[in-house]
Amino acid sequence: MPKQVLPQAIVTGAGSGIGRAIARRLAHEGFAAIVVDRAAAPADETVRQIRAEGHEARAEILDITDATATQRLVDSAPNLRVLVNNAGIFDVKKFNELTADDFRRMYEVNLIAMFTLCQQAARVLPEGGRIINLASRAAFGARNYAHYAASKAGVAGLTKALALELAAKQITVNAIAPGVIMTDMLLERPDGVAELAAEQPTGKLGKPEHIAHAAAFFASPFAEYVTGQVLIVDGGRSVGGTAAF
């Protein structure tokens, strides 16, 4: 019998954390995961984990700000059905210390690269294709992350605009806005993990798997009538106020 051709899902920034969890979950849901990262070793580890679970995956090493490289990526996925834009950068800097270059770099990676890959993928995604963007609850306001918060607010706006423009092709575009999730990026923050957990209504921090569950929903047939939405996954923190990230 010929080998089954699986629908493909591109997940950027999938070498660790949220991206790795999403790639593993989508592979479990029947997608051939295309694991995209800047570094080979973490991407290869994600692929190893997926294959060890009996699923299909391959790694693609590239910089998402390189439009030529991302076009090659899309061209290499003839059965593409889902694009997950997870890759991004983050740093801590007070507003008065920010420079225009800080803003440009944050937008270049977190928003412009995402726009470019959305555009490239939208040209080949079939009817029923899915685009899932990673925003952040920080978009609603955060101290010492003005450039990051602004870039993620841009992700939310881009998601809604694309949802309208791609609706005629039955391509849904949604975003997930994580709150505080236990990832390597979190550990780079100066705040104590225990203090952060205490600020959450649930009394605990999120796990990458919590975001992966949301991504799996948006990629599933159950979400075919859901588009242009930003799903906040933050343990209820946004209900209690948005004064801090």
Q: Which residues have a catalytic role annotated?
A: 148
Whether 19 contacts 13, CB under 8 Å: yes
- Of residues 121, 113, 84, 122, the one with CA closest to residue 214: 84
Helices 67-75, 113-122: axis angle to 10 degrees equals 30
What is the residue whose two structure tokens read 């993620």? 152
Distance linking the first and last C-alpha atoms of the chain? 53
Give the DSSP letter string of the chain: -PPP---EEEEETTTSHHHHHHHHHHHHTT-EEEEEES-HHHHHHHHHHHHHTT--EEEEE--TT-HHHHHHHHHT-TTEEEEEE---------GGG--HHHHHHHHIIIIIHHHHHHHHHHTT--TT-EEEEE--GGGG--TT-HHHHHHHHHHHHHHHHHHHHHGGGT-EEEEEEE-SB-SHHHHTSSS-HHHHHHHSTTSS-B-HHHHHHHHHHHHSGGGTT--S-EEEESTTHHHH--S--
